[in-house]
Amino acid sequence: MGKCSKDKRDLYYRKAKEQGWRARSAFKLIQLDSEFHLFEGVKRVVDLCAAPGSWSQVLSQTLPPDSATVVSVDLQPIAPLPGVITLQADITHPSTLTNILNLFGGEPADFVCSDGAPDVTGLHDLDEYIQGQLLLSALILATNLLKEGGSFVAKIFRGRDVDLLYSQLALLFDQVTCAKPRSSRASSLEAFIVCQGYRQRPGWRPDSLKLSSAIVPRPLTSIDDAIEERAIAPFIACGDLSEYDADATYALEEHVKAVSLEPVQKPTAPPYKTALEKKRNGTLR
Ligand code: SAM
């Protein structure tokens, strides 16, 4: 991405570097927490799809260091963070659940969050399907890890079947809200489902979940009948108007030098790593 791209000029992008966050996503979790008080009384947290680790930074800096355990999972290696246990794993793989449970010594989690996003291919249906699978995997992990009354937050893209998703989440949680933090660009379909008050539901199976009527058609059973319903979740824009607008461009504050800031954490396993190694060895053709 070039230096003049929209990302580089985004104020949250710069603020993240100034304040030492590994990614601008940190502000999304901070703004979600200020609206929903997600961290209150939380001791065990699972941060799914966590690299480079800005949500984990927020969690480890906010939760009490002596009593809280943060487990962060990603396909990419996450550079070490104080107070965070990192796990390089695929959230869609069944062994990941066992690995996380072992790290908590079998105790349930209070809060599971997922900011998962696949590498976009540009093939819209495929991208939507993969995003749906990531969300499904995050929810399966959440339903196996959360204590009764626990919370789950995940990134979604408000597509054609989002109403189906809301109604199904409402089967599992007392309160389901669709939230848009001010640091998430209004021009993007990105939002976060904030699910509070987890209730184990007898008879609920992860494969009952239908994220898209078009992609995963399933035969109906009695529980699936309820799952067919569509619902509208309350939509909340979090962060007040005094906070920066992610779609606006701001002039630098007077005392700030107009210099390009280094990333807080360089990518641990960038796709161009092999090319750089080959260049160093003189074997790049
Ligand atoms: N919340 C992170 C932060 O604050 O730094 C940013 C997360 S980034 C938007 C999305 C992440 O999802 C990527 O690091 C990617 O590797 C991860 N991801 C995608 N598919 C995954 C999978 N199947 N298992 C684990 N992580 C995955």
User: Quick check: CB of 79 below 6 Å from ligand 1?
Assistant: no
Compute the average pLDDT of residues 200-211.
Answer: 68
Asked if residue 281 is part of any domain, the answer here is no
Q: Is 118 in the pocket of ligand 1 (CB under 6 A)?
A: yes
Give the active site residues.
155
**Residue 100 in domain:** yes
Distance between CA atoms of 204 and 143, rounded to whole angstroms?
10
Look at residue 236 and tell me if it is in a domain.
Answer: yes
> Is the predicted pLDDT of residue 94 greater than 50, yes or no?
yes
Q: How far is the CA of 75 from the centre of ligand 1 (A)?
A: 7
pLDDT of 7 higher than 90:
no
Structural domain including 95 reads 3-258
Q: 53 alpha carbon to ligand 1 midpoint, in Å?
A: 9
Residue 117 lies in a domain: yes
pLDDT tops 90 at residue 248: no
38-67 per-position pLDDT tens digit: 999 999 999 999 999 999 999 999 999 888
Whether 278 is covered by a domain: the verdict is no
- CB under 8 A, 24+ apart: contacts of 116-124: 116/48, 116/49, 116/91, 116/154, 116/155, 117/49, 117/155
Q: For residues 131 and 117, is the Cβ–Cβ distance under 8 A?
A: yes
Number of domains composing the chain: 1
Among the residue ranges 22-31, 40-49, 158-167, 173-182, the one predicted with the least confidence is 158-167
Are 261 and 22 contacting, i.e. CB atoms less than 8 angstroms apart?
no
246 located within any domain? yes
| CB-ligand 1 contact for 135 (6 Å cutoff) | no
Q: Is residue 119 included in any domain, yes or no?
A: yes
We report the CATH number of the domain holding residue 33 as 3.40.50.150
Query: Which of the residue ranges 72-76, 125-129, 226-230 has the most confident prediction, judged by mean pLDDT?
Result: 72-76
pLDDT mean over 206-219: 49
Alpha helix locations (H) across the chain?
6-9, 11-19, 25-36, 54-62, 95-103, 124-145, 162-169, 222-227, 273-281
Distance CA 225, CA 206 (A): 15
